[in-house]
Chains A and B, each alone.
Chain A
């Protein structure tokens, strides 16, 4: 893997690994990526993600007391 390629991984994705390790991980990731690619083809424009937040969390006495 060339230095510019490595720089892209480090600067864009925050992956700071030696070239051999990076290559190994990319190979291991290929099966996972093929599954994630299927997801990329789904049109979910009008679907709200399940993760929402409660703006009041953190105001309760119990939670503040633990921090």
Chain B
């Protein structure tokens, strides 16, 4: 029963919670049982809430009194460990001594609490959100493989049914990469759509907060709670939000897909490219039109994101560097934080200028298409410890390969949802991104939902 409950989506669970046929207390026990049983293998949580049961009891009381707060009421949700929480410690993924964070709720944590969600614990992340491996978390589909990162604990926990949904954060792909590698849905909304107040910064002009879920419908339900203006985030946009569930179930007939053929396909594993091409073909059969395009400027993207990300992160860590804390960082993270000093101010600003060039490129593309579809990651979950990988006959570093297809949408700030679209011959999940115009979250979720409805990826669960 616990496995069955924790395989279900928010949409399915909320019906039974509201009708009283399922109790939030029963549900939280199911989640805690799964954590107890499987997290010694998966290592997806760094802290399990001591108040989870009390939160569930409160939700049960409120629902019984007909005070239903919404679809998230009583749903167990994990929180990535770089969001501040008043009742759970925040480590930002580091064990370095003397780095402490305040005990208060981030804006999105508060919104989840106000929606009645049960915050079950803090999920493991790559240290300071600076990587795509998330050691020592293990992939639910194959424990010898990585979970991706930096929101790797959230990806593993959602897919393995240790929680129903989780928060992640995305600076260069950190929601979408683990979603793709673990087989979850990962929603990076438009920059400014979801508040980052209380989300510990990685790169101020790139960071996006958002959910990892089991289904597209759940991503819409989560976004309904998370999205909205927040004066405490300087980048927050004061624009109208949609009811993101409104486009669920709608036809996509007549909508237009653009497929970017350079950058996203040439150095991508064959199984990944084939799965995404097949998905595009299937959407075409649903009545969408398809056109290919190329953006030569993507060649400069990696230099640009390095030029922006490295010095931004170094600036954030500067005082800790001066205080001698960085030798206590993990070696990969320490190196990245230290080399940010080598990027000159001119390089940084050229990176920020280049972003406008790429934004203009995509704006022109979106004059002719409604969504862009590309793979999420060039490769499926790789083995622990691999530093370089062979992709399409070429050796590439894990970092460069794993975020190559996601960072363009951080540079441009465009909304992108990663959805499962198949498995490779080793049984590892494959993800594809559906990308839209700024603030067109409803559009990308509509296409993602149309694709998801014709496949059974949501019902597939790893054999733990």
User: Residues on A close to B: CB < 8 A?
Assistant: 13-15, 17, 21, 24-26, 28-29, 31-33, 35-40, 42, 44, 47-51, 54, 57, 60, 62-63, 66
Contacts and interface: CB of A to CB of B under 8 A. Distances in A.
B46 to A, nearest CB: 27
B392 interface: no
Given A51-B352, A57-B234, 6 more contacts: A25-B335, A29-B342, A31-B400, A37-B303, A40-B347, A63-B231
A36 B303 contact: yes
Of A26, A28, A33, A35, chain B has the most CB atoms within 10 Å of the CB of: A35
B335 to A, nearest CB: 5
Interface in B338-374: 338-339, 341-343, 347, 349-357, 359
A48 B355 CA distance: 9
Given A35-B306, A39-B300, A42-B300, A54 B234 contact: yes
A14 B341 contact: yes
Contact of B355 (A14, A26, A32, A50): A50
Contact of B359 (A40, A50, A54): A50
B232 interface: yes
B347 A48 contact: no
Given A44-B354, A47-B353, A36 B338 contact: no
Contacts of B231: 60, 62-63
A39 B352 CA distance: 11
A37 B338 CA distance: 19
Contacts of A35: 302-303, 306
Contacts of B232: 62-63, 66
A36 B345 CA distance: 12
B341 A13 contact: yes
Contacts of B355: 49-50
B205 interface: yes
Nearest to A22: B338
B66 interface: no
A23 B205 CA distance: 30
B352 A36 contact: no
Main secondary structure of the interface of B (DSSP, over half): helix
Of A14, A25, A49, A54, chain B has the most CB atoms within 10 Å of the CB of: A49
Given A48-B356, A62-B232, A40 B342 contact: no
Interface residues of B, number: 32
B138 interface: no
A2 B383 CA distance: 41
B350 A42 contact: yes
A2 B277 CA distance: 55
A24 B339 CA distance: 10
B310 interface: yes
A47 B357 contact: yes
26 contacts: A21-B338, A25-B335, A25-B342, A26-B342, A32-B339, A35-B302, A36-B306, A36-B307, A36-B347, A39-B303, A39-B351, A40-B350, A42-B300, A42-B357, A47-B356, A47-B357, A48-B353, A48-B356, A49-B349, A49-B355, A49-B356, A50-B352, A50-B359, A54-B234, A62-B232, A63-B231
A13 B342 contact: yes
B397 interface: yes
A13 B347 CA distance: 13
B304 interface: yes
B456 interface: no
A42 B353 CA distance: 10
B79 to A, nearest CB: 21
A24 B300 CA distance: 25
Given A29-B339, A35-B303, A57-B234, A50 B347 contact: no
B65 interface: no
Contacts of B352: 49-51
A33 B359 CA distance: 23
Nearest to A24: B335
A26 B357 CA distance: 29
Contacts of B350: 39-40, 42, 44
Contacts of B413: 50
Given A29-B342, A62-B232, A63-B232, A50 B205 contact: yes
B299 A33 contact: no
Contacts of A60: 231
Given A35-B303, A35-B306, A62-B232, A42 B354 contact: yes
A51 B307 CA distance: 14
A36 B343 contact: yes
Contacts of B205: 50-51
A42 B306 CA distance: 16
A57 B237 CA distance: 12
